[in-house]
Amino acid sequence: MKITFIAADGTVTPVEVTAGESIMRAAVQNDVDGVIGECGGSMMCATCHCYVDDAWTDAVGPQEDGESDLLDCAASEVRASSRLSCQIKMRPELDGVVIHLPESQL
Ligand code: FES
């Protein structure tokens, strides 16, 4: 299945992933600039902050418990569509999801 990352400067990077993979890991493994994932997905860093594209927010779903506390520490502006990408696992209904990346993670 596919994820399309759109960086703050407009760079578009399509990535192929398997089900169960987190969006953070897909970005890191494919050298997508704009996602760091410092804590490896254990919800301790907020360097995997992303914005879910408006067309995909319903499919992706709301923040998990604890995400908004951590997003308070995010380097870039937090919006309604903000999520920690390590907490979004790929599943069939997310095939083709579009993820926007913040300007900075640090
Ligand atoms: Fe650290 Fe997501 S990778 S919170």
Question: In one letter, which amino acid is 21?
Answer: E
Contacts with 35 (C-beta within 8 Å, 6 or more apart), sequence order: 5, 24, 27, 28, 47, 48, 50, 85, 101, 105
ipTM reported for the complex, 2 dp:
0.99
Which DSSP letter does residue 76 get? S
Whether residue 53 has its Cβ less than 6 Å from ligand 1: no
| CATH 3.10.20.30, domain 2-100, yes or no | yes
d(CA 84, ligand 1 centre) in Å: 6
Predicted structure pTM score? 0.96
pLDDT digits (tens, 9 = 90+) for 46-77: 999 999 999 999 999 999 899 999 999 999 99
Cα 24 to Cα 36: distance, rounded to the nearest angstrom: 8
Two tokens, residue 69: 């506390």
- Nearest atom of ligand 1 to the alpha carbon of 84: 2
Q: Residue 104: its pLDDT value, please?
A: 94
pLDDT digits (tens, 9 = 90+) for 3-57: 999 999 999 999 999 999 999 999 999 999 999 999 999 999 999 999 999 999 9
d(CA 9, ligand 1 centre) in Å: 22
